[in-house]
Structure 1
Amino acid sequence: MQHVTPNRFITGLLALLLLCVTLPALAQPDPAQQSNSRSLPELTETASLDDLNNQLDLIRQKVSVSANDDLLSSLRQAALQVQKQADSLTSQQTTDIEHLDEQINILGPVERDEAPTISSQRKALTAQKNRLLSDQKQTSGLSQSARDLATQIFSLRRSLFDSQISTRSASPLSTEFWSSIIRPTDDDLGRLQGLLKDVKNVFTTAMAPGNRLQFIAVVLGALFIWVVGRRLLESLLIRLMIRWLPEGRLRRSALALAVGLATILTIGAATALLIWGITSNAAPSADVLNLLNQLQTLIIFCAFIVGLGRALLMLSHPSWRLPQIPDQIASAMGQFPVVLALALMLIGTQERINSVIASSLALTVAVNGLTALAVSLVFFFALLRYRRTRRKFELERLAGFAGLIPFVVAVWVGFSLLALLAGYLTLAYFLTVKLLWISVVSATAYLLIACFGDLCETLLSPKQPGGLALGAALGLSPRHQAQASTVLAGIGRTLLLFTAVLLAFLPSGSSPGELLESFTQMDLRNKPLGNLNIVPGDILLALILLVAGLLGIRALKEWLGDKLLPETNMDAGMRASLVTLVGYIGVVLVVMVVLSTLRISLTNLTWVVSALSVGIGFGLQAIVQNFISGLILLTERPVKVGDWVSLAGVEGDIRRINVRATEIQMADRSTVIVPNSQFITQNVRNVTMGNALGVVGITLTLPLETDVLKIRELLMEAFTEHEAVLDNPAPSVTFKDLTTAGLVISVSGYVNSPRTVGGTRSDLLFTVLSRLRDMGIALSSPQSMMLISEGVEKTPPVVE
C-alpha cells in the first residue's frame, strides 16, 4: 500500500507529459519532405490489374538504400498486399474462365449448318476466354513480381541492419555523442524548426474561437478517462469477477487479467479520443497522421507495460498475485514498470519524429543509443533493487526456471551496456529492444497461460462445481471429463507458448510471416558441402529444429506421464511403455524432419546403410538384437514396468525398459542391467503378470499322537487373524501325508502381493510356533545318523 500514492502521481505525470509531447509533434512537413515521404495510395478490394501494376511501380520507386527501416517495412507490407490481391484476382479469373468453358460446352462443337447467332456467340465467348487467359497470365506474373519484391526488401532490410549493427559510433562517454543530440545538423535543425512552426499553426487552429471549447473538452475528457475512468472500470471488472466467478485460481487469474485490461483499455481510449480531437479541429497532413498513428501505438505499448506490471505485482491486493513473488520484492519492483513506460514514451517520441522527418543517420543512431541507455539503466537499477531487497529480508532465490531470470537479464543488460560504452550503438539498441520485447511477451504469455489453464480446470474439471455441472449436463463420465480437460488445457497452453516463442523472436515492425521467412532467407552463401546438397542456412535451421524437437518431445512425455495418462485406467507399466514409445516415435519424426531440412534423401545415405550392414555383420548383431527385443517388449508387453520377474538367477522389480536393456531392482536395492534379448530368448518367470496375489504356505511335521483337529483350528485362527491374509480366497489346511516321521500338515493363504509373502510368512511362523509351545505340542525331531569307529571317540551327530 505504500507505493499506491507515488504510482498514482507518476501515472498522472505520465499523462500530462504524453499530452505535452504529443501536441508539439503535430506539424505539417515542408513541401520537399512531403513529396519524398508521400504515402502510397490505398488499394480497394476491387482493384484492377492496372491499379496493382501502378501500385507495384510506386513501391519500386520508393525502395532505396537510403530509406529507413520503418519505410522499408511499410513498403514490404504494401508489396505483400499487392501479392494478396493479385492472388485473389487470379482466383476470380479462374472462376470466370470455368464459367465461360461451361457456356462454350453448352453450345457444343462447331457444325456446318448451325445458326449464325450461335457461331457469333461462340466466337465472342472464345475471345473473352482468351482475354481472361491473357489477363490471368499477367496477374500471375504480377503476383510473382510482388513476392520477389517483398523478398528483396526483406534482404535489403537485413543488409542495412547488418551494416549498421557492426558500425562503431561515438560512445555516450564522449562529447560527440551528446553534441549530435543537443546540436543537430543544419538539415535536421531546419526540419525540426519546420515542425515547430507547424505545431504553432496546429495549436492556433485548435485553439481558435470556433474550436477552442471542443478541443479543451476533448483534452479534459481524455484526462478523465485516463485517471478516473481506469479506476471506475477496474472496480467494475473486479466486482463482476468476484460475483460471477467461484473462489479459486480462476478468480485470481481473471482479476489479474481484469486489472491489466482496465489499464490498457482506458489509456488506449483516452489516446484515441485525444487524437480524434486533434484531427477534427485541425487539418494534419499524411505525415502528421502517420506520426499520430505511431504515437498512438507507442502509448498503447507503454500502457501495456504498466498494465502488465500492475497485473503481475498486484500491490494493492497481494493475495491476488499469480507469480510466487514475495511481498517485499513486489513492493520494491512496483514503480519500475511506470518508470520504464515513462522513459520509453519520452525517448520513443523523438524516435517517431526522426522516422517521420527522415532525420540524418547520426541523429537517428544517437537517439537509438539514448533509448538503449535509458532502458538498460532501468533494468540495471531494477536488478540492483531486487538484489538489495532479497539480501535485506534474507529471501531465498525463486525455485526452478524463475530463479534464472534475474541472472539471464543481468547478463543481457551487461552485454548491452558494454556494447553501448564501446560505441556499438545499433547493437546495444537491438539488444535492449529485444530484451524489452521478450520481457513483455513472456509476461503476457504467463498471464494468458495461467488464465487459460485455470479456466479449463474450473469449467471442465470434474473436481470443481462448474465441471460437475457441465459433466452432468453433457452426460460425461468423470474420467472422460478429466481427460478432456487435460487435453484441452495442454493444447491451449502449447499454442499460447508457441505463439509467445514466435512473437519473442519477431523483429520489430514485422509480422509473424517474416519470422518464418527469416529462417529460410538468411543471408548465407548457399554452397553445397560435398555431394550432399547441404547449405549453412539449412544446417542452422536443422540444429534449431533438432533442439526444439527434443525439448518438445521431453515436454510431451512429461505431460503424458504426469497429466493425461494418470487420468486414464492404464496401469503404471502400460503408462510407462506408452510414454517410452511416444518418445521413440517423436525422435524418429524429428530425425526425419532434420534430414529433410538438410535435403538428405535415402539415396544419399546408401554409404551409411552399407557401413551399417558391414558393422552388423561383424559386431553389431547384439545391439540390433537388443533393440528389436526392446521394441517387442514395449509392444507385446510380456513384462512391463512394475512386474516382479526372475530369469537367470536375477529376481526383482522392473524399473525401466530402455531400447537396449532393462533395469531390474533387486531386493537389496541394487540394480541389474539385463539385455532385452534375454527376455525374448530365455525362460522368464513373471510373478505378478497373471495373478497379482501372493501365496503364503507353511508345512509342519507333527508327532503321530497329535490331535489334528486342534492343529487345524490353530492354523486357521492364526491365518484368519493376520491382517495381511485375505478372506477371499479363504485360507485352507491340508493333511498332506502320514509318514514314519509324523503327520505332515500344510496350510496356505493369499495376500495382496507376492512381495509381502516373506514378511507375512515370518509373522505367521512366530505365531504358530508360540501357540504350539503353549499347547505343549512339539514338532517331530529329524532323523539323525551316528557314525561310530572302534578305538576312536564318538563323533558328533550329523543331521541329514
Structure 2
Amino acid sequence: MTRFLSRVLLAPLLAALLMGGAVAPTWSADTAAPAATEAPAPVDPAKSLDSVKQSLDKIEAQIVGDSLTDGELIKLRGALDPISAQIQAVIAEVAPKLAAVKARLDQLGKPPDLKANPSAAPEDPAVTKERDDQQKLFTSRDDLIKRANLAQLRVDQIASQIAERRRTLFANSVFQASSSIASPKLWMSVAGEAPRGFSAAHGVLMDFVSQASEALAWRNAWMFGLSLLALIVAIVAATLLARRVIPRERSGRTPSEWQKAAAALWTAAAVAIIPVGGAMGFFALARWFGLGGDEFRRLSAALFRGVVEFALAVGIGNALLAPNRPKWRPVDLSDRVARRLMNLILVVITLITLGKLFEALDATVGSALPVSVAARGTFALLVGLALTRGLYGIVAAPDVEESPSGRPGNLVDESPWWPPIRFAAWAATIAVIGADLLGYVALSSFLVDQIAWMALIISLLFLFLKLASEGLEGAFGPNSRLSRALIASIGLRRESLAQIGALLSGVVSLTLYAVAALLVIAPWGLQSHDMVGAMKSAFFGFKIGGVTISPWSLLVALALFALGYTVTSAIQNWLEKRYLPLTQIDQGLKASIRVSIGYIGVLLSLLFAVAFLGINLERLALVAGALSVGIGLGLQSVVNNFVSGLILLWERAIRVGDLVVIGDDQGYVRRINVRATEIETFDRATMIVPNGNIMTGVVKNYVRGDRIGRVKIPIQVLWGSEPEKVRETLLDVAKSHEEVVGIPAATVLFTNLGLNSLDFELICFVENVERTGRVKSDLLFAIFSRLAESGIRMTGSTPEMNVSLPHIEPMLDRYFDRRSESKA
C-alpha cells in the first residue's frame, strides 16, 4: 500500500517538474526541421501547378549555392513534402475527370468516314459538337496530368540532389583529416593560444556575473532564491519517493521476465526524470529572471543536454544492469560484470558530457581551430582509453579457472549474443583510438557519440522487446485474466488466444526493430523519406547499358540479399517454434508453410538486390530469353523437378511425416525441397528422390487419408482341425490385443482347402500404421501359444509325405522288369 501511495504522489510531482520545461533551451534548434503544413485544397488545378512551379524554381535556385548548411538543406527537403502533397491532390482531382471524359469519347466513338463510305448517313451535329467539346476537355485535363507528373519528377530530382549534398557535407565534416592528437605541433599551437583562450573565458564569465547582478536586484534575488529553494525541495522529495517505488532486493519468489522488464523501465524513468525535470525547472527560472542572454544560449543548451544524457545513461544503466539488485536484473550477467559495466557507463558518460560542455564553451569564446581539435581529440581519446580499461578483463578475472572445454568458468553457459557484442565493442574502441591518433579527430568524436547513442537505443530496444514479448504472450496465455475474460465473453478458444498473442508479439517486435533502425541512422544525417536515396548516392561506379556497376554497389546488393535472407530465416524460425506449434495444423502443412515462406522471402530479397543495382524487369526478360535456350537444351529435368516440388508443396499429395512406398523402398518423408524429397528408410538411411520421379511414378502413401493400418496373418493347420475352433481362437487373440481397433472389426477368412492343410487368414486393423509390424509380431506369438494350448497342429512349409514299404516293393519289381526287357 505504501509503495502504491508513493507512486501516486510521485507522478504529479514529476509532472510539475516537467512543466518548467516549456521554456527550457532546445537541444538542436539549428537543425530542427519545420513541421510540414498540409497544403490547402486547390481551387484551380492549373493555378495550383503554377504555384508548384514557382516554389520548385525558388528551391532549385537556393540549392545552387555552395554555402548551405545541413540544417538549411533539411528545411529545403521538408518544404518538398507539402509541394508533393499539392501535386498529388491535383492528380487525385483531375485523374477521375480525365477517365470520365475518356469513357464519354469511347462511347461516342470515331466520326464516320464519308470518304470511305459515301453512302453512310451523316452524323447528327449535336453528336459532333459533343465529341469536339469532350475532346477539348480531354486534351486540357491530359495536359494537367502531364504537368503534374513532370512536377513530381522535379520534386524527386530535387530530393535526390539534397540527399547527395547532405551526404557530401556529412562526409566532409566527419572524414576531414586534421592534426593527430599525438602531434607535437598541435600542442605547441594550443600552448600559444592558451593565454588568449583563458582571457576570453574569463571575460565571458565576468559578463555573465555582471548580467546576473543586474538581473537579480535585492528583491529579485530573494524571489529567485525562494524559487530555487522550492525547486530543490521538490527534487529532494521526488528523489525520496523514487527510492521507495524502485523494486528492492528481497528474499522470496524470483520475479518473472516480464516483471523484470517492467521494473527496469520504471526504474529508468524514476531515476532519469528527476534530474531532467530539475534541469528544466532551473532553466525556466533562469529565463524568467533574465539570467543569461543570447550569447550564453549555446552554453546553456549544452549544459541542459549534458544533464539529460547523464540522467538517461544512469537511469538505463541502473535499469538494465541493476548492480545492487541481482534478482531484478533483466540481462544474464554476473554481479561482478554488472558492477564493472555500470562504472564504465558512469566514466564514459561523464567524459562525453564534459567534452560537449568544453566544445560549447569553446564556440562561445571563439577559440582557435587547434584548441577545438585538441579538445575534441583529447576527450575522444579519454573515452577510448576508458573503454579499453573497462572491457579488458570483463570476461573473467585473472584468477578465474577454466572449464574442461577451455573457456572461463563463468562463460560456460553464457548467451550466444555476448561474444559478438564484445567483439563489436572492441572494434569500436580500436576505431576511436586509431582515428584519433591518425588525425581524424572529427571521425573519432563522431564514433564516440554513436557508441553512446547506439548503446542507449539497443538497451531500450532490449527492454521494450522483452516487455512486449513476455507481456503480450502472458496476457493471452491460457490462465491469464484477459484470456478468461475473452473466453467467457466472446467464446474464443485458448489455442486461438495463444496465436493472437504470438502474432501481436511478432508485429510489435518488428515495429520496435524498425523504429530502432531509424533512430540509429538519424545522427548520420539520413531521414526516413530519403534513406534509400542516400544509400544509393553513397557509392560511385560506371554505367554499362544504363546500369551503374561498382564493387560497392555489388557489396550493398549482396548485403541487402543477406539481410532479406536473414529476416526470412527469422520469420521461418518464429513460425516453426513460436506460432505454428500453437495451431492445430498437421505437420505436413506446417512444413509446406515454412518452405513456401522461405521461397517467397528469398525471391523478394533477390528482387530488392537486383532493383538496387538498377536492373529492371525488361533487362531481366532479356536474360531470361537467353537462358531459355539453355533450359530447353539441358535443364529440362531441373525445371521438371522444380515445378514438381511446387506442386507437391501446394497439392500435398505427400506430406512431411507420411509413410510412403516408392519402388522397392519405403520410409518416412522428412523434407520436401524444390528439387528433391528426402525420405528416411527403416534402416536409418536417407533416400533422395527427385520430385519429378514422385510426380510421374506410383507412390503408395499409408497415411494419406488416415493412419489406420491393416495386419494380415496367414495360418495353415492340418486336416482334422475344426475350422470353427480355429476361427474362434484367432478372433479371440485379435480382440485381446489392446492396439487392435474394434471398428473395423477383426475377421478370419477360410481361404483354401489344400491337399495337406486348411488355410486361414486373420485380418485386423490398428490405429497407427507405424505399429503394424509390432502388432503383427505380438499376434503371431499369441497365435502360436493359443493353437498349441488348443491342440491344433499347424503345417510346416514342406508338405508331409507318408511312405509305406509294402507299397514300394511291387513298384520296384515292375521297374526293374521293364528295364531288363528293354535291354534285351
Relative to the length of structure 1, the TM-score reads: 0.77
Query: Partner amino acid for 1:442?
Result: I
Could you tell me which runs of 5 or more consecutive residues in structure 2 were left unpaired when the two chains were aligned: 1-24, 41-50, 96-146, 249-253, 402-408, 813-824
Q: Which residue of 1 aligns with 2:221?
A: 212
> Are positions 1:375 and 2:383 aligned together?
yes
- Aligned counterparts of 1:763 and 1:40: Cα–Cα separation in 2: 82
Query: Partner amino acid for 2:224?
Result: F
For the 8 Å contact 1:206–1:215, the answer to whether it is kept is: no
SS of 1:665 mapped into structure 2: strand
Identify which range, 183-192 or 563-572, moves more after superposition. 183-192
Query: Partner amino acid for 1:409?
Result: A
> Are positions 1:560 and 2:569 aligned together?
no
Superposed, 1:113-192 pairs within 5 Å as: 155-163=164-172, 165-178=174-187, 184=193, 191-192=200-201
SS of 2:300 mapped into structure 1: helix
Q: Which residue of 1 aligns with 2:436?
A: 420
Which residue of the other structure, out of 51, 73, 77, is the alignment partner of 2:74? 77
Which is greater in Rg? 2
For the 8 Å contact 2:676–2:689, the answer to whether it is kept is: yes
Superposed, 1:713-728 pairs within 5 Å as: 713-728=728-743
Residues 47, 472 of structure 1: CA spacing in aligned structure 2 closer, same or farther, 3 A cutoff?
A: closer
Q: Which residue of 2 aligns with 1:126?
A: none
> Are positions 1:542 and 2:557 aligned together?
yes
SS of 2:733 mapped into structure 1: helix
Identify which range, 337-346 or 572-581, moves more after superposition. 337-346
Residues 282, 725 of structure 1: CA spacing in aligned structure 2 closer, same or farther, 3 A cutoff?
A: same
Shift of residue 492, structure 1, vs aligned partner: 0.8
SS of 1:339 mapped into structure 2: helix
- Aligned counterparts of 2:245 and 2:615: Cα–Cα separation in 1: 60
Q: Which residue of 2 aligns with 1:262?
A: 270
Q: Which residue of 1 aligns with 2:676?
A: 661
For the 8 Å contact 1:347–1:371, the answer to whether it is kept is: yes
Q: Which residue of 1 aligns with 2:104?
A: none
What does the per-residue CA deviation read over 1:338-374, in whole Å, with 9 as the maximum and x for residues that have no partner? 2222222212211233455665433333222223223
Residues 744, 459 of structure 1: CA spacing in aligned structure 2 closer, same or farther, 3 A cutoff?
A: same
Query: Partner amino acid for 2:689?
Result: V
- Aligned counterparts of 1:582 and 1:41: Cα–Cα separation in 2: 40
What does the per-residue CA deviation read over 1:596-619, in whole Å, with 9 as the maximum and x for residues that have no partner? 333323332354223322212221
Residues 206, 229 of structure 1: CA spacing in aligned structure 2 closer, same or farther, 3 A cutoff?
A: farther
Which residue of the other structure, out of 387, 395, 411, is the alignment partner of 1:387? 395
Residues 46, 507 of structure 1: CA spacing in aligned structure 2 closer, same or farther, 3 A cutoff?
A: closer
Residues 221, 457 of structure 1: CA spacing in aligned structure 2 closer, same or farther, 3 A cutoff?
A: farther
Residues 168, 288 of structure 1: CA spacing in aligned structure 2 closer, same or farther, 3 A cutoff?
A: same
For the 8 Å contact 1:533–1:600, the answer to whether it is kept is: no
> Are positions 1:493 and 2:509 aligned together?
yes
> Are positions 1:299 and 2:307 aligned together?
yes
Which residue of the other structure, out of 713, 717, 721, is the alignment partner of 1:702? 717
Superposed, 1:191-270 pairs within 5 Å as: 191-205=200-214, 208-221=217-230, 223-224=232-233, 228-233=237-242, 235-236=244-245, 248-270=256-278
For the 8 Å contact 1:206–1:278, the answer to whether it is kept is: no
- Aligned counterparts of 1:784 and 1:297: Cα–Cα separation in 2: 104
Q: Which residue of 1 aligns with 2:486?
A: 470
What does the per-residue CA deviation read over 1:692-716, in whole Å, with 9 as the maximum and x for residues that have no partner? 1122222211123334454444434
SS of 1:690 mapped into structure 2: coil
- Aligned counterparts of 1:490 and 1:681: Cα–Cα separation in 2: 41
For the 8 Å contact 1:332–1:389, the answer to whether it is kept is: no
What does the per-residue CA deviation read over 1:561-580, in whole Å, with 9 as the maximum and x for residues that have no partner? 22222222210101101111
SS of 1:507 mapped into structure 2: helix
Shift of residue 259, structure 1, vs aligned partner: 0.5
Could you tell me which runs of 5 or more consecutive residues in structure 1 were left unpaired when the two chains were aligned: 1-25, 27-36, 99-136, 240-245, 791-800
- Aligned counterparts of 1:166 and 1:435: Cα–Cα separation in 2: 17
Identify which range, 385-394 or 475-484, moves more after superposition. 385-394
For the 8 Å contact 2:680–2:687, the answer to whether it is kept is: yes
Q: Which residue of 2 aligns with 1:672?
A: 687
Q: Which residue of 1 aligns with 2:584?
A: 569
- Aligned counterparts of 1:688 and 1:46: Cα–Cα separation in 2: 63
SS of 1:395 mapped into structure 2: helix
SS of 2:472 mapped into structure 1: helix
Residues 356, 748 of structure 1: CA spacing in aligned structure 2 closer, same or farther, 3 A cutoff?
A: farther
Number of residues paired by the alignment? 704
Residues 539, 358 of structure 1: CA spacing in aligned structure 2 closer, same or farther, 3 A cutoff?
A: farther
Report % sequence identity: 27
- Aligned counterparts of 2:232 and 2:537: Cα–Cα separation in 1: 47
Query: Partner amino acid for 1:298?
Result: G
Query: Partner amino acid for 2:578?
Result: K
Residues 42, 617 of structure 1: CA spacing in aligned structure 2 closer, same or farther, 3 A cutoff?
A: closer
- Aligned counterparts of 1:760 and 1:717: Cα–Cα separation in 2: 15
> Are positions 1:749 and 2:764 aligned together?
yes
Shift of residue 643, structure 1, vs aligned partner: 0.9
SS of 1:500 mapped into structure 2: helix
For the 8 Å contact 1:253–1:447, the answer to whether it is kept is: yes
Residues 517, 288 of structure 1: CA spacing in aligned structure 2 closer, same or farther, 3 A cutoff?
A: farther
Q: Which residue of 2 aligns with 1:348?
A: 356
Shift of residue 224, structure 1, vs aligned partner: 4.9
Query: Partner amino acid for 2:523?
Result: P
Residues 681, 238 of structure 1: CA spacing in aligned structure 2 closer, same or farther, 3 A cutoff?
A: same
Shift of residue 445, structure 1, vs aligned partner: 0.7
What does the per-residue CA deviation read over 1:16-38, in whole Å, with 9 as the maximum and x for residues that have no partner? xxxxxxxxxx9xxxxxxxxxx99
- Aligned counterparts of 2:788 and 2:520: Cα–Cα separation in 1: 80
Q: Which residue of 1 aligns with 2:121?
A: none
Shift of residue 390, structure 1, vs aligned partner: 8.7
Shift of residue 256, structure 1, vs aligned partner: 1.1
Relative to the length of structure 2, the TM-score reads: 0.75
Shift of residue 438, structure 1, vs aligned partner: 1.9
Residues 682, 212 of structure 1: CA spacing in aligned structure 2 closer, same or farther, 3 A cutoff?
A: same
Shift of residue 546, structure 1, vs aligned partner: 1.7
Shift of residue 736, structure 1, vs aligned partner: 3.2
For the 8 Å contact 2:36–2:81, the answer to whether it is kept is: no
Shift of residue 557, structure 1, vs aligned partner: 1.4
Shift of residue 304, structure 1, vs aligned partner: 1.6
- Aligned counterparts of 2:94 and 2:687: Cα–Cα separation in 1: 74
SS of 1:334 mapped into structure 2: helix
Q: Which residue of 2 aligns with 1:609?
A: 624
Residues 615, 683 of structure 1: CA spacing in aligned structure 2 closer, same or farther, 3 A cutoff?
A: same
What does the per-residue CA deviation read over 1:441-492, in whole Å, with 9 as the maximum and x for residues that have no partner? 1111111111111221132333423322234333322232222211111111
Which residue of the other structure, out of 333, 337, 344, is the alignment partner of 1:329? 337
SS of 1:392 mapped into structure 2: coil
For the 8 Å contact 1:701–1:741, the answer to whether it is kept is: no
- Aligned counterparts of 1:603 and 1:47: Cα–Cα separation in 2: 37
- Aligned counterparts of 2:625 and 2:90: Cα–Cα separation in 1: 53
Q: Which residue of 2 aligns with 1:313?
A: 321
Query: Partner amino acid for 2:418?
Result: A
Shift of residue 749, structure 1, vs aligned partner: 2.7
Shift of residue 527, structure 1, vs aligned partner: 3.3
Superposed, 1:767-786 pairs within 5 Å as: 767-784=782-799
Query: Partner amino acid for 1:399?
Result: S
- Aligned counterparts of 1:438 and 1:502: Cα–Cα separation in 2: 11
SS of 2:761 mapped into structure 1: strand
Identify which range, 221-230 or 309-318, moves more after superposition. 221-230
For the 8 Å contact 2:31–2:70, the answer to whether it is kept is: no
For the 8 Å contact 2:31–2:74, the answer to whether it is kept is: no
- Aligned counterparts of 2:32 and 2:655: Cα–Cα separation in 1: 68
For the 8 Å contact 2:548–2:614, the answer to whether it is kept is: yes
Identify which range, 328-337 or 614-623, moves more after superposition. 328-337
- Aligned counterparts of 1:233 and 1:372: Cα–Cα separation in 2: 34
